[in-house]
Amino acid sequence: MITGHQTEMTVKYKVQKISKQPEINAVWDKMPWNQIEPLQLDHYMGDKPGHFPFTQAKVAYDNTAIYVIFRVEDRYVKAVAKENQGPVYLDSCVEFFFTPGTDIEKGYFNLEMNCGGTMLFHHQMKPRTDQTWISEDHIMEVDVAHTLPEIVDPEIVKDTIWIVEYRIPFSVLGDYHSFQKPEAGSVWRANFYKCADKTSHPHWLTWAPVDFPRPNFHLPEYFGILEFQE
């Protein structure tokens, strides 16, 4: 049973199974990504931003992990968070929020990563109030690649394309959330976000639309659907 806010317009994405683990190197146009359709972040929270970066993501999986890659056509790019679990959402940042299953009442993960590859990674039982920080040892098990330096300061004001890519082992997730590894027919709930809270042109973009009067990504009832394929 799928819980949360659902309508006939709920967005869905098909997660392809891959037979060979890709090199995690932040290259968008490579196997298998060049054979996988992207999703696009077309919605926003708050006032419509004047700067609306074209943001895409792709997701894939195998028997051991889930793979995510983001590509952002951006401007006003900044990254000053120096350590994992720092406030990366203040920087030019992309975020993957997901429940490994259909029941959002069992909690969700939020993996937030700035353009320099620094991440904040939590598991939330209740948004912002009942959370567990993913340990640094487990964070080190997440393979990460990024095209920009870890620190981007001063802000890059010109047109800039940046990419982050990562592999999340199911073994890491299983230490915080009980679930069965996905297979063909499995369904997860998820949303994808782009933000830049403390840059010169802040914005809050979403894949699945979120009906809330101000920017707030911690609303799992609005998560879209990930459908796992063969």
Q: What share of the chain is helix, strand, coil (3-state, %, to 5)?
A: 10, 40, 50
Q: How far apart are CA 39 and CA 99, in angstroms?
A: 18
Domain presence at residue 3: no
b/e per residue, 109-138, with b = 16+ CB within 10 A?
Answer: bbbbbbbbbbbbbbbbeebeeeeeebeeeb
**Chain segment 182-211, per-residue pLDDT in tens:** 999 999 999 999 999 999 999 999 999 999
User: Do the domain assignments include residue 166?
Assistant: yes
CA distance 132 to 5: 24
Res 129: pLDDT: 85
Amino acid, res. 6 = Q
Pairing of strands 224-228, 12-17: parallel
Q: For 127, what's the count of Cα atoms within 13 Å in the CB-facing half-sphere?
A: 10
Q: Give the span between the Cα atoms of 42 and 204, in whole angstroms.
A: 11
Q: In 3D, which of 86, 114, 118 has the Cα closest to residue 199?
A: 114
Residue 119: φ, ψ to 5°: -125, 155
Mapping DSSP to helix (H, G, I), strand (E, B) and coil, where does residue 74 land?
strand
Residue 130's CATH number? 2.60.40.1190
| Number of folded domains that form the chain | 1
- The verdict on residue 87 lying in a domain is yes
Residue 204 lies in a domain: yes
Provide the domain limits for residue 203. Answer: 12-228
5, part of any domain: no
In a domain, 189, yes or no: yes
**Residue 218 pLDDT exceeds 70:** yes
pLDDT in tens, 143-175: 999 999 999 999 999 999 999 999 999 999 999
Res 177: pLDDT: 97
> What is the token pair recorded at 191?
């949303």
| pLDDT tens-digit series, residues 101-134 | 999 999 999 999 999 999 999 999 999 888 999 9
Per residue in 12-51, pLDDT (tens digit) is 999 999 999 999 999 999 999 999 999 999 999 999 999 9
- Report the SS3 class of residue 221: helix
Domain assignment of residue 92, yes or no: yes
| Per-residue confidence (pLDDT) for residue 77, from 0 to 100 | 98
Q: In this structure, are residues 15 and 68 in contact, taking their beta carbons and an 8 Å threshold?
A: no
CA–CA separation, 20 and 25 (whole Å): 15
Q: Is 9's pLDDT higher than 90?
A: no
d(CA 93, CA 194): 6
Q: In this structure, is residue 46 part of a structural domain?
A: yes
Surface-to-core class of residue 9, CB atoms within 10 Å of its CB (0-12 exposed, 13-18 middle, 19+ buried): exposed
